[in-house]
């Protein structure tokens, strides 16, 4: 959780920030990063640093009162400008304002914590006033963000979000666009993955390869329909070799990872990789098209940039700490995440079901054909382990 506090940079307000605002934020969100304009860091001007901090923050608190202005004569112009930036990026916002101040019309409806500025700005600070602000700000933060920062209603506290309700101007408003992090998280928790692909992306990406290795350990299955050509078979051989070097036995691999080979013409209408996650034919089926706007999924500049994070999450045994990597991805500044320009596309439920139905038909046909070439005992084992049974 990152909180930016927009405030006049004067000693009385600095005291309020250190003794009331920052403690309230850290009380509600124990691991929160709280900063103001003086603490914002950037490669360019202070304005650039402040704007970057606002855009990258999860919430903005605006302290409008300025002890340098006569009481009731207006609010700090810089703070109002920064509040406008926060609103334009649909950030949840809270205002702290003197109860004797006549707020500008445009922010009258924004949730505000009213204070007695004279007591807060007293030469030594009024301890009771500071403690009261801390407590009331903490309560307001819990209400604003649902107590744990997860409430979707937080955005409703932003007047621009209210005015543009139903309008999509940010990527976050398009839940069917899956970025690298979202796909990685979904793949990591999937018990079953069905894929139709010409490209085995997890052999090129260390994070996805780590997920494949975990799947072997945990007995989670990957069903992959691939073209029957030498390049793919070589790639599969390399994958299996890498997994064996990790200490897995051939039987372990055979129970977790299976490929069905089809003729190239059977993939003619599948120009990009398709993956289905935990398909349960009777109730649900979730799936994606992998980066249909990319020349080759998984090899664009953004994916390469993210893979630079991988060495920082390697353990002493050389394996990747997935949880640490996912935490690092989640912690990337909002502005940096705007560098992602190719996305996986989530399939509609009906489209996923239709693809799943076709997948089962092709997969079982290939498994049956393979089983006919085996001894009775091996045939029974193959069918038991890999023939897809339709959920009732």
Residue 139 within a domain: yes
Whether the per-residue pLDDT at 151 is higher than 50: the answer is no
pTM: 0.73
Domain match, 24 and 146 both: yes
Domain match, 158 and 194 both: no
> Residue with structure tokens 């991805």?
329
**Pairing, β 33-36 against β 93-98:** unpaired
Residue 28 within a domain: yes
Q: Percent of the chain, pLDDT > 70? A: 89
pLDDT of residue 283: 65
Helix, coil or strand: residue 72: coil
Mean pLDDT, residues 92-117 taken together: 80
Residue (of 60, 4, 1, 6) closest to 28 by Cα position: 1
pLDDT of residue 148: 46
Domain match, 137 and 79 both: yes
Residue 171 within a domain: no
Domain match, 152 and 197 both: no
Domain match, 159 and 270 both: no
The whole-angstrom separation of Cα 196 and Cα 356 is 10
Domain match, 183 and 102 both: no
Distance, CA of 277 to chain centre: 18
- End-of-domain residue from the set 163, 190, 220: 163
Residue 325 within a domain: yes
Band (pLDDT 50/70/90 cuts) for residue 152 is very low
The whole-angstrom separation of Cα 121 and Cα 115 is 11
pLDDT tens figures, 315-365: 988 889 999 999 889 888 887 888 888 899 999 989 999 999 999 999 999
Residue 170 within a domain: no
For 130, the domain range is: 2-163
Residue 168 within a domain: no
pLDDT tens figures, 253-312: 999 999 999 998 888 888 899 999 998 755 678 999 999 988 777 777 888 888 888 889
Mean pLDDT, residues 219-234 taken together: 93
Mean pLDDT of the chain: 86
Domain match, 84 and 198 both: no
Helix, coil or strand: residue 147: coil
The domain that holds 141 is classified in CATH as: 3.40.50.450
- End-of-domain residue from the set 136, 163, 190: 163
pLDDT of residue 297: 78
Domain match, 236 and 264 both: yes
Angle, nearest 10°, between helix axes 206-218 and 322-330?
A: 140
Q: What is the domain count for the chain? A: 2
């Amino acid at each position: 959780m990152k909180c930016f506090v927009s405030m006049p940079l004067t000693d009385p307000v600095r005291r309020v920030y250190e003794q009331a605002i920052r403690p309230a934020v850290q009380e509600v969100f124990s691991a929160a990063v709280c900063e103001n304009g003086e603490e914002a860091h950037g490669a360019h001007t202070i304005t650039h640093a402040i704007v970057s901090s606002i855009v990258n923050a999860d919430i903005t608190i605006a302290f409008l009162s300025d002890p340098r202005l006569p009481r009731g004569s207006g609010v700090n112009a810089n703070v109002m400008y920064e509040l406008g930036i926060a609103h334009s990026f649909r950030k949840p916002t809270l205002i702290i304002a003197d109860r004797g101040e006549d707020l500008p019309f445009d922010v009258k409806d924004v949730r505000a914590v009213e204070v007695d500025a004279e007591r807060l700005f007293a030469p030594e600070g009024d301890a009771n006033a500071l403690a009261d602000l801390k407590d009331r700000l903490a309560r307001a933060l819990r209400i604003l963000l649902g107590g744990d920062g997860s409430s979707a209603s937080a955005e409703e506290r932003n007047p621009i979000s209210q005015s543009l309700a139903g309008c999509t101007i940010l990527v976050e408003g398009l839940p069917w666009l899956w970025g690298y992090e979202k796909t990685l998280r979904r793949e990591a928790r999937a018990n079953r993955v069905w894929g139709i692909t010409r490209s085995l992306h997890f052999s090129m990406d260390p994070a996805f390869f780590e997920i494949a290795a975990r799947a072997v350990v945990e007995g989670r299955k990957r069903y992959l329909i691939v073209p029957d050509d030498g390049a793919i078979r070589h790639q599969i051989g390399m994958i299996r070799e890498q997994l064996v070097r990790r200490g897995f036995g051939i039987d372990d691999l055979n129970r977790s990872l299976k490929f069905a080979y089809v003729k190239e013409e059977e993939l003619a209408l599948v120009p990009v990789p398709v993956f289905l996650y935990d398909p349960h034919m009777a109730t649900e089926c979730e799936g994606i098209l992998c980066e249909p706007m990319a020349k080759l999924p998984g090899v664009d500049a953004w994916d390469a940039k993210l893979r630079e994070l991988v060495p920082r999450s390697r353990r002493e045994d050389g394996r990747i700490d997935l949880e640490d990597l996912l935490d690092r991805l989640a912690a990337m500044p909002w502005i940096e995440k705007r560098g992602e320009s190719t996305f996986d596309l989530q399939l509609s439920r009906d489209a996923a079901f239709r693809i799943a139905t076709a997948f089962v038909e092709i997969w079982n046909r290939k498994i049956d054909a393979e089983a006919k070439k085996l001894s009775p005992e091996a045939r029974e084992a193959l069918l038991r382990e890999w023939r897809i049974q339709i959920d009732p």
